[in-house]
Amino acid sequence: MNFDDTPQEAEFRSTARKWIDANAPKKYEAELSKSSLGRIRLEKEEIVDVGKAWQKKKADGGWACLHWPKEYGGRGATPIEKVIWQQEEGVYGKLTQPFQIGEGMCGPTVMAFGSEAHKRHYLPKLASGEHIWCQLFSEPAGGSDVAGLRTRAEKNGDNWIVNGQKIWTSGAHYSDYGLLITRTDPNVPKHKGLTMFFLDMKSKGVEVRPIKQANGMQEFNEVYFTDVVIPDHQRLGAVGDGWNVSLTTLMNERMSIGSRLATGFPEMFEFCSSLMTEDGLAIDDPATRSRLASWAVKASGLKYTSYRAISSLSKGERPGPENSIGKLVSGTMLQDIASYAMDLQGAAGELAGADEEMARGQFQQMLLSAPSMRIAGGTDEILRNIIAERVLGLPGDIRVDKDVPFNKIPTKGRV
């Protein structure tokens, strides 16, 4: 049991570190180090522009999408090398946010189901950041039940005509391409009538509208499709096989080992260590200490759980299911920490201004944003189902709509 690199890993780390040291956009380092939660913002420039420049530089140096094959713009690196790269990239990794969906989900799906010509054309541009991709899965009627989606694609000669609406699409407003799942046959059970495509987001009939969220920010979009034409050669997988194709995409989403999720604990520990109450420092209060300790062991437990996964990668093994707990634990933690940090501030805890001296509104912002952490990328309830079914081997839910043709499934509750 040790934390040391193997000789090959150490060599890779040293090469990566040298390259980053010589090439990273250091003028943003301080700014990037500060923002710990949610979307990253830069004072004077758009994160997408700065990110694109960094991504391009990495691609030119052979450091973009490094676990991808070289012919598609990657480096052919091993999974552990990718983790080492992420560790070394450090705060500059935050600049890759606009490309993560493309690299983590859309790219692997194209790689698995696209034609060779498509792969050679699209993947290197995705890897170099020239093209940004988004993922068009969720719909107003299909969130956790994503197979309940209603966006229609109808065949018309060599093309498909798409009509419908997607929602919660991150980055749609700056994306060049999208991975789109549609319903092509409503007369068969819901999982069987789906087909996957990719499309140019500048296609005629695509309209992107930002969503104003509960926390007041605008990070997601609705995307409307009105008679959008997609050529049949942009289909990924067979007609009616879209559900299986989407499983590839989602499986890749959950493989994000080494990317640490924010828990709010470091901020909370610092806050409690400096907050002077009428009875002394907050951290000297027994009730506060008890809560802090429970959060501390959750945060360290998550950290060492990811170390265990990294160790499996290092040995060339597939990591076990332990890593599925990350988002489930950290989402609730963020919410609880924010709430207690505000409790410690008393009546002033409701003040959210960045000029408030106590914590500059950071916990208030955390509280307002935390609900999305428990919903996006799989709700807490879906994640518990996944653990129960895939890790513990408990039976799947009884699905009353499983064998019913999609167009016969009830669409209204309370009738």
What's the Cα-to-Cα distance from 288 to each of 146, 296, 324, 402, rounded to whole Å?
Answer: 41, 12, 29, 48
| Shortest distance in whole angstroms from residue 310 CB to other proteins | 6
| DSSP tag of 142 | B
Nearer to other proteins, 247 or 394 (CB): 394
SS3 361: coil
The string over 226-236, giving b where at least 16 C-beta atoms fall within 10 Å of a residue's C-beta and e elsewhere, is eebebeeebbb
| Shortest distance in whole angstroms from residue 144 CB to other proteins | 12
Nearer to other proteins, 292 or 359 (CB): 292
Give which of 238, 333, 315 is closest to 37, Cα–Cα.
333
| Shortest distance in whole angstroms from residue 22 CB to other proteins | 25
H helix intervals, 285-386:
286-314, 326-344, 362-373, 380-386
Within 10 A of 8 (CB to CB), how many other CB atoms are there? 12
Stretch of residues binding other proteins (CB under 8 A), selected from 38-46, 124-132, 214-222, 388-396: 388-396
Token digits for 95? 């600049």
User: Using CB under 8 A, which residues numbered 267 to 286 contact other proteins?
Assistant: 269, 273, 283, 286
Nearer to other proteins, 230 or 302 (CB): 302
Q: Is 103 a catalytic residue?
A: no
User: Using CB under 8 A, which residues numbered 319 to 378 contact other proteins?
Assistant: 322, 325, 328-329
305 contributes a contact to other proteins by CB under 8 A: yes
Nearer to other proteins, 315 or 412 (CB): 315
| Shortest distance in whole angstroms from residue 249 CB to other proteins | 23
| Shortest distance in whole angstroms from residue 209 CB to other proteins | 34
Nearer to other proteins, 354 or 398 (CB): 398
| Shortest distance in whole angstroms from residue 306 CB to other proteins | 8
* 130, 154, 253, 322: the active-site residue: 253
10 Å CB burial of residue 317 (0-12, 13-18, 19+) is: exposed
Stretch of residues binding other proteins (CB under 8 A), selected from 32-40, 246-254, 312-320, 366-374: 312-320
**Given phi > 0 = left and psi -120 to 50 = alpha, else beta, which region is 154?**
beta
Stretch of residues binding other proteins (CB under 8 A), selected from 164-172, 193-201, 301-309, 348-356: 301-309
Stretch of residues binding other proteins (CB under 8 A), selected from 39-47, 248-256, 298-306, 370-378: 298-306
Using CB under 8 A as the binding criterion, the count of chain residues that bind other proteins stands at: 50
Choosing from 17, 254, 289, 377, the residue that interacts with other proteins (CB under 8 A) is 289
The residue assigned the tokens 């208030």 is 364
Nearer to other proteins, 123 or 328 (CB): 328
10 Å CB burial of residue 333 (0-12, 13-18, 19+) is: buried
SS3 51: helix
What are the beta bridge partners of residue 174?
Answer: none
Long-range contacts of 268-272, Cβ-Cβ distance < 8 Å, separation of 24 or more = 268/292, 268/295, 268/337, 268/340, 268/341, 268/363, 269/296, 271/341, 271/344, 271/359, 271/363, 272/344
Q: Tell me, what amino acid is at 161? A: I
Choosing from 282, 292, 344, 370, the residue that interacts with other proteins (CB under 8 A) is 292
Distance CA 249, CA 261 (A): 20
Choosing from 187, 210, 394, 402, the residue that interacts with other proteins (CB under 8 A) is 394
Using CB under 8 A, list all residues that contact other proteins. Answer: 1-5, 9, 269, 273, 283, 286, 289-290, 292-294, 296-298, 300-305, 307-308, 310-312, 314-315, 322, 325, 328-329, 381, 383-385, 387-389, 391-398
Report, as residue numbers or ranges, the catalytic residues.
253
